[in-house]
Amino acid sequence: MKEEKDELAKLREENEQLKRMNQVKSDWISIAAHQLRTTLSAVKWILKMLLDRDFGEITQEQNDFVKKAFASTERMVLLVNEMLSLNHTEDATLNFIFEPHDLTELVEETIFDFTGESHGKGIEIVFLKPDALPPAFPFDKEKIRVVLQNIIENALKYSDRGDKIFVAERIQEGKIEVVVRDTGIGIPDGEQQNIFSKFFRATNAKAKDEIGSGLGLYVTKFIVEKHGGTIGFESKGSEGTTFTFALPTSRT
């Protein structure tokens, strides 16, 4: 009996220590990100001012190089932002707000937000709206928005001009499924088991030279599972990828 108590006290203490360590880590990431952003701002602003000829005329060759440097800086800014967002997502483990929302509306909103990007890339996003609209059910709207954004953004990144992306919503027994199908580069067979791991990026994704931190799908899975949902994908060779996630319609 006493041993059990000692064991429990020990576990509690270890748990407290882990929480403290996680807090230190989070604070450190916040501070580092703030410092990185300040340094990056200086570089980014100067490069843009050079491109805008605020410091006078530059040659075509100089312009091309500065443009490349500016693009690299933009990537770094994006990575810092993603790092912060992951930090927040992990911090926010206990801060999910489950309230009834209309998932169809959220899907439409999210697709609408990508209009500019998809037009620019010449890719059409088609939403196959369900005939019978699902009723509102409790989920964390902002976090599921991140899930939809990550999956659709991936589909856009790894598709080619002229391709179509299909988004569908399906009502199932006790759950609602969202399916995002693209005809992009697919996920190589040997790498499929790693796709949800932190910092993992598929070799063909890296080769396509798209910006990515390898955090998007990790965060996506984390959020879906916090809802008691499931996420998976199918990808055959280079025929594209279909991501499906399902959310339970009632919270138990």
Residues in contact with another protein by CB under 8 A are: 30, 33-34, 36-38, 40-42, 44-46, 48-49, 52, 54, 77, 80-81, 88
| Among 81, 143, 75, CA closest to 106 | 143
Choice between 85 and 194, CB closer to another protein: 85
Q: How far is the CB of 84 from another protein (least distance, A)?
A: 8
CB burial class (10 A; 0-12, 13-18, 19+) of residue 177?
Answer: middle
Q: Are 138 and 178 in contact (CB under 8 A)?
A: no
The answer to whether the beta carbons of residues 212 and 158 sit under 8 Å apart is no
Cβ 148 to another protein shortest distance, Å:
20
We find the least distance from the C-beta atom of residue 35 to another protein, in angstroms, to be 8
What's the length of the chain? 252
Give 54 or 99: the residue with its C-beta nearer to another protein: 54
Pick from 185, 147, 156, 181: nearest CA to 167: 181
**Residue 46 Rama label (left phi>0; alpha psi -120 to 50; beta):** alpha
45 vs 65, which CB is nearer to another protein? 45
The token duo for 147 is: 């899930």
Contact at 8 Å (CB) between 201 and 220? no
Q: Looking at beta carbons only, is 37 or 170 nearer to another protein?
A: 37
Backbone φ, ψ for residue 177 (5° rounding): -105, 140
Give least dist CB 45 to another protein, A: 5
Cβ 144 to another protein shortest distance, Å: 17
Q: How far apart, in whole angstroms, are the C-alpha atoms of residue 216 and residue 79? A: 11
Minimum CB distance to another protein smaller for 44 or for 181 = 44
Shortest distance, position 108 Cβ to another protein, whole Å: 25
| Separation between Cα atoms, residue 73 and residue 82, nearest integer Å | 14
Q: Residue 37 or residue 101: which is nearer to another protein going by CB? A: 37
